[in-house]
C-alpha cells in the first residue's frame, strides 16, 4: 500500500472518530434527532398503515408481530399513530424554536441597546412570564381555535420572554466588555459592532436555548393535546395518543407507553444536541488542526 493510500484511508476515519470522541453529546443527540426526523418524513414507508383506520377487532390489542405497538381503544394501530405523531411534534418543536428565537432576538436586542424601549418591553415580558406558559397557550388557543399553526404561535408567544431575557442579559454584559469598548474607540460603526462583536457571541447561548425551547415546545404540545387544547383529535400526535390511552392505562399500558417513549427519546436527543452544541461552539474547544 502506498503512503498516499494510507493517508486517504486513515484521515476520514480518524476525523469521524475524533468528532465522536470530542463531542459525544453532540453525536448521540444528532443521531437521536435524525432518527426522529427520519421517522417523521418516511412515515408512510416504515410499515405503517393509515393511522386513522378504525379496526374494531383490534381494540386494545396487545403488541404482537402484526401490531408492533398494539391497538388503541377503537382499534387504530398505535405503531402507525406514533410514527405519524412525530410529524406534529417535530413541526411544533422546530416552528416554535424558529419563531420564538427570532421574535425574542429582536425584543432582546432592542431592550439591550435602547434604554427607554427596555423599560417598556421588559415590563410586557414580565407580564407574559408571570402567566404559566401552558395556561397562556391554552388561553391563546381557545381564542383562535385548535390547529397546528395556532399551536405553534401560542407556544412561541409563551417562549418569547425567556429568549428576550437571555438575549438582553447577554447584550448588556457584552456591551460593557472591553473588546466592545475597544471597537467603539477604534471607530467601528454601530451596526458592525452589533454584527461582529455582539451577535456571534449571543449565538452559543441562543443555540442552547433554542434546543431547550424545541424540547419544551414538544412537551407543551403533548400537554396541550393531552388536555384537549392542542392539535385536533383527528391528527395523531403523541399527546393525543397518550390522552386517549389514559383511561385504559391499567389494562392496556402499551397505548401510553410507546408514544411516551417516543416523546422522551426526542426530548432527550434534542437536549443532548443542545449540550453538545454548547461545547462545540465554545472557541476553547475548537481544534486548530
Partner 1 sequence: MSDLLTVENLGKHFIVSGGLFGNFLGSARRVIRAVDGVSFSIAHGETLGLVGESGCGKSTVGRAILRLLDPTFGKVSLDGRDISHISRRALRPLRQNLQVVFQDPFASLNPRRTVGQSVAEPIKNYGLAKDAELRKAVERLFMRVGLRKDQIDRYPHEFSGGQRQRVGIARALGTKPNLIVLDEPVSALDVSVQAQVINLLVDLQQEFGLAYLFIAHDLAVVEHISARVAVMYLGKIVEIADKRRLFANPKHPYTKALLSAVPSPDPDHKKNRIILQGDMPSPSNPPSGCRFRTRCPIAKPICAEEEPELKAHGKHQFAACHFAAD
- Interface positions with partner 1 (CB under 8 A): 177-179, 181-189, 196-197, 200-201, 283-284, 286, 288
Instruction: Count CB-CB contacts under 10 A for residue 19.
Output: 13
Grid cell listed for 255: 397505548
Using the minimum distance from each CB to partner 1, give the nearer residue, 2 or 287.
287
What separation, in Å, do the N-terminal and C-terminal C-alpha atoms of the chain show?
26
Whichever of 136 and 207 has its CB closer to partner 1, that residue is 207
The three-state secondary structure class of 223 is helix
Shortest separation between residue 162's beta carbon and partner 1, angstroms: 23
Give the shortest CB-178-to-partner 1 separation in angstroms.
4
For cell 393509515, the residue is 50
CA 167 – CA 43 distance, rounded (Å): 37
Measured from the CB atom, is 22 or 196 closer to partner 1?
A: 196
* CB nearer to partner 1: pick between 186 and 234: 186
CB 120 to partner 1: min, Å: 14
Please, what is the minimum distance in Å from the beta carbon of residue 126 to partner 1? Answer: 12
Shortest Cβ 197–partner 1 spacing (Å):
6
Counting every residue, how long is the chain? Answer: 289
Contact in structure between 62 and 242 (CB atoms under 8 Å):
no
Q: Which is nearer to partner 1, 56 or 284 (CB)?
A: 284
Shortest CA distance to 238 belongs to which of 100, 94, 79? 79
Amino acid at each position: 500500500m502506498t503512503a498516499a493510500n494510507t493517508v486517504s484511508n486513515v484521515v476520514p476515519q480518524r476525523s469521524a472518530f475524533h468528532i465522536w470522541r470530542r463531542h459525544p453529546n453532540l453525536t448521540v443527540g444528532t443521531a437521536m434527532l435524525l432518527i426522529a426526523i427520519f421517522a417523521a418524513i418516511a412515515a408512510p414507508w416504515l410499515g405503517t398503515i393509515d393511522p386513522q383506520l378504525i379496526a374494531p377487532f383490534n381494540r386494545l390489542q396487545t403488541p404482537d408481530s402484526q401490531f408492533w405497538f398494539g391497538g388503541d381503544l377503537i382499534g387504530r394501530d398505535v405503531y402507525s399513530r406514533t410514527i405519524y405523531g412525530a410529524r406534529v411534534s417535530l413541526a411544533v418543536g422546530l416552528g416554535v424554536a424558529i419563531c420564538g428565537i427570532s421574535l425574542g432576538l429582536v425584543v432582546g436586542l432592542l431592550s439591550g441597546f435602547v434604554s427607554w424601549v427596555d423599560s417598556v418591553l421588559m415590563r410586557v415580558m414580565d407580564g407574559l412570564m408571570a402567566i404559566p406558559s401552558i395556561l397562556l397557550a391554552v388561553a391563546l388557543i381557545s381564542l383562535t381555535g385548535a390547529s397546528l399553526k395556532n399551536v405553534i404561535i401560542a407556544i412561541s408567544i409563551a417562549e418569547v420572554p425567556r429568549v428576550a431575557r437571555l438575549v438582553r442579559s447577554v447584550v448588556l454584559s457584552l456591551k460593557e466588555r472591553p473588546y466592545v469598548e475597544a471597537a467603539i474607540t477604534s471607530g467601528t460603526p454601530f451596526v458592525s459592532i452589533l454584527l461582529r462583536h455582539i451577535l456571534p457571541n449571543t449565538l452559543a447561548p441562543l443555540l442552547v436555548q433554542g434546543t431547550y425551547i424545541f424540547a419544551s415546545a414538544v412537551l407543551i404540545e403533548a400537554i396541550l393535546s393531552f388536555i384537549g387544547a392542542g392539535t385536533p383529535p383527528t391528527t395523531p400526535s403523541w399527546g393525543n395518543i397518550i390522552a386517549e390511552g389514559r383511561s385504559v392505562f391499567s389494562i392496556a399500558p402499551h397505548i401510553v407507553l410507546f408514544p411516551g417513549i417516543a416523546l422522551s427519546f426526542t426530548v432527550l436527543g434534542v437536549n443532548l444536541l443542545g449540550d453538545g452544541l454548547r461545547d462545540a461552539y465554545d472557541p476553547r474547544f475548537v481544534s486548530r488542526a
